[in-house]
Amino acid sequence: MTAPLEGIKVVEIASFVAVPAAGALLADMGAEVIKVEVPWGEIYRHSTPRLAGFDNDFPAGPPFQMDNRGKRSLALDLALPQARDALARVIETADIVISNVLPARLEKYGLDPQTLRANRPELIVARLSGYGPEGDRANDPAFDYTAFWALSGLMDHLRDLDSPPGWMRPGVGDHSAAMAMVTGILAALRTRDAGGEGQVVDVALQQIGYYINGNDAANSLVTGETPPRHDRKAPRNPLWNHYECQDGRWLFLVMIDSDRYWSGFAKAVGHPELAEDARFSNAVERYRNGRELVSLLDALFAERPLEQWIAPMNSERLIWAPVRTLAEAVQDENAMQTGMFATVEHPEYGTFRTVAPPFKMSGYEMTGDNPAPVLAADTADVLAEAGVDDETIALLVAASS
**What's the CA gap between 240 and 255, in Å, rounded?**
6
Long-range CB pairs of 289-292 (<8 Å, 24+ gap) are 290/234, 290/235, 290/236, 290/237, 290/238, 291/233, 291/234
Q: What is the 3-state secondary structure (H, E, C) of 143-168?
A: CCHHHHHHCCCHHHHCCCCCCCCCCC
Q: What are phi and psi of 350, to 5 degrees?
A: 75, -150
Per-residue pLDDT at 223 exceeds 90 = yes
User: What would the pLDDT profile of 65-119 be if each residue is shown by its tens digit?
Assistant: 999 999 999 999 999 999 999 999 999 999 999 999 999 999 999 999 999 999 8
Q: How confident is the model at residue 215 (pLDDT cuts 50, 70, 90)?
A: very high
Q: Calculate what percentage of the chain has a pLDDT beyond 70.
A: 100
**What's the CA gap between 311 and 316, in Å, rounded?**
9
| HSE-up (13 A, CA, CB side) for residue 361 | 16
Q: How confident is the model at residue 161 (pLDDT cuts 50, 70, 90)?
A: confident
pLDDT of amino acid 23 = 98
Report yes or no: 239 and 286 within 8 Å, Cβ to Cβ: yes
Per-residue pLDDT at 308 exceeds 90 = yes
pLDDT of amino acid 20 = 98
pLDDT of amino acid 196 = 84
Q: How far is CA 256 from CA 161, 167, 243, 259, 273, in A?
A: 21, 26, 16, 9, 21
Which residues are within 8 A (CB) of 78 and not within 5 positions of it... i.e. 6 or more apart? 84, 87, 109
User: What would the pLDDT profile of 320-351 be if each residue is shown by its tens digit?
Assistant: 999 999 999 999 999 999 999 999 999 999 99
Among 315, 333, 361, CA closest to 4 = 361
User: Tell me, what amino acid is at 205?
Assistant: L
**What's the CA gap between 63 and 296, in Å, rounded?**
43
Long-range CB pairs of 193-199 (<8 Å, 24+ gap) are 196/121, 196/122, 197/121, 197/122, 198/117, 198/120, 198/121, 198/122, 198/123, 198/124, 198/125, 199/124, 199/125
Per-residue pLDDT at 1 exceeds 80 = no
| DSSP per position, 215-260 | HHHHHHHHH--PPPPP-TTS-S-TTEEEEE-TTS-EEEEE-SSHHH
Beta bridge partners of 99: 13, 127
Per-residue pLDDT at 178 exceeds 90 = yes
pLDDT of amino acid 162 = 85
Domains, the chain, ranges and CATH? Answer: 9-214+339-399 (3.40.50.10540), 240-324 (3.30.1540.10)
Q: What is the mean pLDDT of the chain?
A: 97
Q: What are phi and psi of 269, to 5 degrees?
A: -90, 5
**What's the CA gap between 383 and 92, in Å, rounded?**
12
pLDDT of amino acid 394 = 97
Per-residue pLDDT at 310 exceeds 90 = yes
- Cα-Cα-Cα-Cα torsion 29, 203, 154, 253, nearest 10 degrees, comes to -30
Report yes or no: 96 and 126 within 8 Å, Cβ to Cβ: yes
Q: What are phi and psi of 22, to 5 degrees?
A: -65, -40
User: What would the pLDDT profile of 131-155 be if each residue is shown by its tens digit?
Assistant: 999 999 999 999 999 999 999 999 9
pLDDT of amino acid 160 = 86
User: What would the pLDDT profile of 2-52 be if each residue is shown by its tens digit?
Assistant: 999 999 999 999 999 999 999 999 999 999 999 999 999 999 999 999 999
Packed helices 205-212 and 172-195: angle between N→C axes, nearest 10 degrees: 100
